[in-house]
Amino acid sequence: MRRETVDFERLSRRIDEIAERWDTSGAVVVIADGETVHRNTYGYADREGGIRTSPDSTYLISSKSPMLIGLCIMQLVDRKRVSLRDTLDQYIPEYRHASRITVKQLLYHNTGIPDYFYSGKMLELSQSKHHQALSDEDRFRVECYAYESPITFAEVHAIISDARLEFEPSSRSSNWSASNVVFLKEIIERVSGLSLAGYQRKHVFEPLGMNQTVPGCDATTVSYGCIKETVLVRLPIVGEMDHAFRTTIDDMVKLMKGVVNRQLMSGRTWKTALLHDSTGRGIIAEHANGVACGVGGILGYEFNLYFDQDSKISYIHVTNERQKQRRIDDEWYWFRKEVRRAIEEETTYPRFTCLKPYSQQNAWEAMDLAVHESQTSFVLDAKASLCYALAKPKVRRSYVLMEGKRSVGLLVLAIDKKKSLYDVDILLIDKRYQRRGFGKIILSKALEILKQHGARRIEIGVNRFNIAAQRLYFSLGFERVAVYEQGMWLRIDLEI
């Protein structure tokens, strides 16, 4: 990331504006090149009581959070106490399918192990007349507390031990199951000889100096879940939850720095830990348009830790209220998504730029690429462009311009050697990344590909009022061949 091109004061103001618009609660901290460039608290520690959050507010996190579980397993891998290739019979021999399932499959949630909660307890509740007679809010509360109530591995094993696997391990890319988390917890405890909470305190929190992160449910904030995308439901702590930690913003920032600086285990193990599959799922973090995102939640409490190694930027959102969602222009939005997109817009410049074929790995991000409002009359949007390309896949070839692991542009080429057809059918750069040189990069790469396939001359039509596109083509040597009332015809001869 080129610091001189990023206006962090403007970015900070944008985050504050987004937080106000979404009426979010909690805190957001952004760190770039090791320096804190944004830190602020928002909303309510207790919305119903009208108590605002403060820098000293405390929150809850769960020891069963995917990111923390992944860190623990990978530490054991780093110490050669566990191997990702190991089958479960080396750790949990009493489970009858253990020899068919590996530790890695547990981490990626493609084991086929039945879900003890959503396919068990939730089914029972759905068939209970008493439960179904409750209000939507009360039914939601019962289900949330049921999920977070303590349960042992022995109890889970008793529920699923006689059941068949839902599918052959690894035959599906991802199928999250609450049972997988319980199995991972059990492996950590059997191998280390510590409780999961005890292991995390000794091997994660203490090494990172997270001294304010302690077992307990006595946070100064009250959690709220969310139903129907927009309705917050108060979820005060009732009873004990043996996997809860009370924590602070300062400590969560220490966790973020520990992950970004790759502490706690060797660099080689970190490299494995940060890999993700074709769906974007990883061992400690999911993939979100070039950003790794580690998550955790308990009742309405959530933390989402984002880090981008290429741009050396990281940011965290800690909250006591589950995210609301809104449908805007046929796309779902929520607070964190808008913040992530704002940070991407402010910090993405050409540095590690490459062109890759459109594939399952970049499909979702490519479909989200948005044309600038001034160009909607000239260029198809990303979804329409991809539909157009896929209608004739043997001729039209789709590519995604990537800045590191982030999708920034879309290219559709027409290549038919038998008919000597070589065209740039569609070229677009997401509106957030325009005027940064990406257009020239993608067009240059397009011409290289066409030349490699035998093209010697490229002709293209452009709307006469699309001045931005004309400037781009002229900058690479295209010349006018003809000019019409609404458009013009351009040509470039490629060097042989």
DSSP 427-466: EEE-GGGTTSSHHHHHHHHHHHHHHHTT-SEEEEEEETT-
**Strand order in 286-288's β-sheet?**
35-42, 26-32, 313-319, 301-308, 291-298, 286-288
Domain limits of the chain? 41-300, 353-493
Q: Is 10 helix (H, G, I), strand (E, B) or coil?
A: helix
Measure CA 456 to chain center.
42
Q: Please tell me the predicted confidence (pLDDT) of residue 1.
A: 47
Pair of tokens at residue 390: 């896929």
DSSP 153-168: HHHHHHHHTTSPPSS-
- CATH code for the domain defined by 41-300: 3.40.710.10
Residues listed for the chain: 496
How do residues 82-135 score in pLDDT, each as one tens digit? Answer: 999 999 999 999 999 999 999 999 999 999 999 999 999 999 999 999 999 999
Q: Is the pTM of this model over 0.85?
A: yes
Q: Please tell me the predicted confidence (pLDDT) of residue 372.
A: 85
Cα 242 to Cα 150, 214, 295: the distances in Å are: 6, 12, 19
Q: Which residues contact 458 (CB under 8 A, 6 or more apart)?
A: 422, 423, 424, 447, 450, 478, 491, 492, 494
Rg of the Cα atoms in the chain: 26
What is the chain's mean pLDDT, rounded? 93
CA atoms within 13 A on the CB side of 9: 1
Q: Which residues contact 409 (CB under 8 A, 6 or more apart)?
A: 369, 400, 401, 427, 428, 429, 430, 433, 438, 439, 442
Look at the domain 353-493 and name its fold. Answer: Aminopeptidase (3.40.630)
In the predicted model, what is the mean pLDDT of residues 347-370? 91
Say if residue 155's pLDDT is above 50.
yes
Q: Please tell me the predicted confidence (pLDDT) of residue 4.
A: 54
Q: Please tell me the predicted confidence (pLDDT) of residue 335.
A: 95
Cα 208 to Cα 205, 255, 295, 398, 464: the distances in Å are: 5, 7, 18, 45, 59
How do residues 187-235 score in pLDDT, each as one tens digit? Answer: 999 999 999 999 999 999 999 999 999 999 999 999 999 999 999 999 9
Cα 198 to Cα 1, 101, 206, 296, 372: the distances in Å are: 38, 26, 11, 18, 51
